[in-house]
Amino acid sequence: MRHINARELAYSVLLDVERNNAYSNIGLNHTLNAADADARERAQATRLVYGVLERKLTLDGVYGAYLRKGTRIKPNVRTLLRLGTYELTFCDGVPARAAVNEYVSLAKREGCGYASGMINAVLRRTAENGLILPSPDDPSFLIMKYSVPAPLIGLFREVYGDDLTAFLDSLCRKARVYGRVNTVKTDFPSLQHELASQNIAILPVDGLPELFYFDGSAAFRDTEAFRNGLFYIQDLSSACAGKLLDARDRMRVLDVCAAPGGKSFFAALSMHGTGEVVSRDIHAHKLRLIEDEAKKLGLANIVPQLFDAGKTPGDEAFDRVICDVPCSGLGVIRKKPELRYRELSDIGSLCELQYGILCAAAGAVKKGGRIVYSTCTVTRSENEDIVARFLSLHSEFQEVRPALPFGEYGEYGVRFSPHRDDCDGFYACAMEKT
């Protein structure tokens, strides 16, 4: 097997994303698992893939300045130009001449030899001039600086107002990775000590004693602690939604869109392994992943069920219902950078799906019980507007507002923001049935 370097790995993944709208995280994992590459090159390939996706519009503007007007380039050449431009403008310590030569050679190996001269010339100009942005008063300034399309900048401006720049700045920072201690098996001091023995530092989250974050990058998936289920990964915002749910010992909890399972696990641990958490999803393969993770965590009170959340949940009544609905995902752009380039036209149909799932899930709440509606997006139409519509037509439900150490309550529900809370963009609203 020929040794494959980081640039080749990144090129393969990015070309698949460009041509087939593939998911970068899935494509990257598949490519890395199949590659003959060492840990350093795998890490570099990961940085290149996510860096290019995060800065795609910026990169197109930078190298595009050196193309003749009207030049049409194929996806494979465009991918090479983006990769080279990213390394030359955003990566420190990269020898410019060597990098340019590497991409010219890669172009020839990948059947793009016809464009090697153009790639050489454009990347050399890029190396000489560096990152050049429009003036701040230019309408394209925010698009170029943050690599966010104009329609999405308009949407973010409606949501964040004067905080727009702070929010956009946060999209360019690496997302903090949070974990939840599996208190059925261990406690924070013990877990901290075990991970420290492997040179992995974790720090507690103020106000959420069961939550922690990694101090810097960490290969936590290779640790015995992770493999043995002493913790699992869960964002701060998702954990706060778990706090809103307020699951207590021996309760019955329903999670209507459970995959990947984090909120089900939080509820199960909040009940100290007692009671029952019925974790439903429409996809059987996702339920198998939940079941496997529950076994690893030692949570016997998780009950996976194949079910369509849009349908009436049946005659069963639950003390707590988790309703984390499919959404546009605009709150997790830092983790899934290609989402910033998605079309916004399908949000309307998503809203109808979300409202239907909430109404169906509410039918499973017993009197005196609670439902938490949540999304990992920032649009008002998928969040506050859904809750307002629901409450106006379901007078038996009332919003409740437990104190939280993070987030900001608004007209309906609570918002979590990356620039204020250092977490995903997220929304949640707790409602009780009277």
| Residues designated as active site | 376
Pair of tokens at residue 10: 């990144």
Which segments of 182-234 does DSSP mark as H helices, in order? 188-196, 224-227
Region of residue 21 (phi > 0: left; psi between -120 and 50: alpha; otherwise: beta): left
The β-bridge relationship of strands 231-233 and 178-181 is antiparallel
Which segments of 24-115 does DSSP mark as H helices, in order? 24-34, 39-54, 56-64, 75-90, 96-109
Contacts of 404 (CB under 8 A, 6+ apart): 207, 240, 243, 244, 414
Region of residue 292 (phi > 0: left; psi between -120 and 50: alpha; otherwise: beta): alpha
* Residues facing residue 400 across a β-bridge: 430
Residues 144, 412: Cα–Cα separation, whole Å: 34
Chain mean position to CA 357: 22
b/e per residue, 137-151, with b = 16+ CB within 10 A?
A: eeeeebbbbbbbbee
Hey, what's the torsion of the CAs at 433, 290, 25, 211, to 10 degrees?
60
Pair of tokens at residue 118: 């153009």
3-state SS string for 107-124: HHHCCCHHHHHHHHHHHH
Residues 300, 320: Cα–Cα separation, whole Å: 18
Strand, coil or helix: what is 264? Answer: helix
Q: How many CA atoms, within 13 angstroms, populate the side-chain half-sphere of residue 313?
A: 28
What end-to-end distance do the CA atoms of the chain give, in Å?
66
